[in-house]
Amino acid sequence: MPVRTGAALRLDPVTSSPRHLATLTYIPPMTDSCLFCKIASGAVPVTLIAQNDHAVAFRDIAPKAPVHVLVIPRRHIPSIAQATDQAELGAVAALAAEVARQEGLEQAGYRVVTNTGEDGGQSVAHLHFHVLGGRAMGWPPG
Ligand code: 5GP
Ligand code: ZN
């Protein structure tokens, strides 16, 4: 069978453009400007609650409930919209559940939420799950 050259190597202008790759697959490494990257690396001190290979949990500086813990991936991921690694995402979710157990929230219940983008009310552009408990949560959220 003859080997075809040229056509198979041509890049699709839509799916292979640098802009497309930048928006869909590029996750920036830890940056000096990301507060939660600094927390994950230990450069900014926090009250550490728990950690695993992929994630770190610490108390929110301005708690919105008697228990308010943030769970973040060690790696810089801007939000859940850019999270593609299922093992990493699973480790973040598992740590959130472990924090709730550790904080004694399991029986009464609790809420895990990740604000995403402007309408979601996200203020720090590094993926984080809020673990909130110790009081009854309202629904729908504001
Ligand atoms: P978001 O608004 O992005 O969903 O959540 C960001 C959270 O980070 C807020 O609840 C805010 O109180 C918390 N936060 C912001 N800066 C710091 C900090 O320096 N240390 C800690 N522990 N939490 C912070
Ligand atoms: Zn970051």
Number of domains in the chain: 1
Q: What is the pLDDT of residue 39?
A: 97
Q: Which domain holds residue 113?
A: 31-133
Whether 126 maps to a domain, the answer reads yes
CA distance 61 to 128: 14
Ligand 1 site, residue 125, Cβ cutoff 6 A: no
Residue 141 in domain? no
Best mutation site among 69, 116, 123 for ligand 1 pocket (most ligand atoms within 8 Å of CB): 123
Name the token pair of 96. Answer: 């959130």
pLDDT of residue 32: 78
Measure CA 109 to chain center.
22
pLDDT tens digit string along 41-81? 999 999 999 999 999 999 999 999 999 999 999 999 999 99
More confident residue, 108 or 12: 108
Within a domain: 16: no
Distance CA(68)–CA(91), nearest Å, equals 19
pTM of the model: 0.83
Residue 1 maps to a domain? no
Residue 26 lies in a domain: no
In a domain, 64, yes or no: yes
Does 70 fall in a domain?
A: yes
Mean pLDDT in residue range 82-99: 98
Q: How far, in Å, is the centroid of ligand 1 from the Cα of 61? A: 6
Rounded CA gap, 138 and 20, in Å? 39
Look up residue 59 and give its two tokens.
Answer: 């108390």
Query: Distance, CA 48 to ligand 2 centroid (Å)?
Result: 17
pLDDT level of residue 34 (50, 70, 90 thresholds): very high
CATH number at residue 85: 3.30.428.10
Let me know if residue 21 belongs to a domain.
no
Which is it for the CA torsion 30, 76, 133, 90, positive or negative? negative
Contact 16, 29 (CB under 8 A): no
CA–CA distance, 70 with 53 (Å, rounded to integer): 16
